[in-house]
Amino acid sequence: MLVVAFGAIFFYLPVMKDSAGNALDSSFNIFYFHMPIAIVAYLAFFVVFISSILYLRENDQKWDEVSLSAAEVGVIFAFLVLATGSIWAKAIWGWYWVWEPRLTTSLVLFLVYVGYLMLRTALDDPLKRARLSAVFGILAFVSVPLSFLSIRIWRSAHPLMFGGSLYGQGGGGLEGTSLLLVLILNMLAFLMLFVSLTSFKFKNEKFERELDMYKGR
């Protein structure tokens, strides 16, 4: 699926335009990777949020394993968001990093969930680790809508592709059907990658837990 998605970018890539109808620089094509990766990162942390709630509600270890699996994969995607965003920033603004709302809140989001993983490694007791991580996973989710809404709440140099902001900035660049098809294809590809990686990690965590239980007999 990823091969097909990447092929669509290189061989079926429509010209992106801004809200005024002007063709955007070809470097903006990294958007086809950047936006799907960002959405999947948000989805991963939403899974952490829901599974953390379910763990506290049901006290079932599997939900803790789901949280850990989704968080580890989500952190990878969040890092890729920062990396692709920096590449785009260098091409458009001439700098790899600009302290503007979307980039800053994306960095905060990444660091928050790195902190979540560090918390897990710092605690030895499984039950205490699971409960504290669940609470952290719920509170950490605040950083997700903060990152998503940042360019709508504050003035930002980051392009707004959908809707509008409080400052009158409108979306642009997504008018073409071909562009939307390629974007959707990439969304599906990265979504499948996320599901595959998270499922693999979850099965590995479950196997390790069962192995520890077997050794403890």
User: Does residue 122 contact residue 53 with C-beta atoms inside 8 Å?
Assistant: no
- pLDDT-derived band at 166 (thresholds 50, 70, 90) equals very low
Which range, of 42-56, 88-102, 104-118, averages the lowest pLDDT? Answer: 88-102
pLDDT score for 74 = 98
pTM equals 0.81
At residue 202, does pLDDT exceed 50? Answer: yes
The whole-number pLDDT of residue 161 equals 58
Question: CA 49, CA 30: separation in Å to the nearest integer?
Answer: 29
Residue with the bigger pLDDT between 210 and 84: it is 84
187 is written with which tokens?
């969304």
Say what the pLDDT of residue 216 is: 59
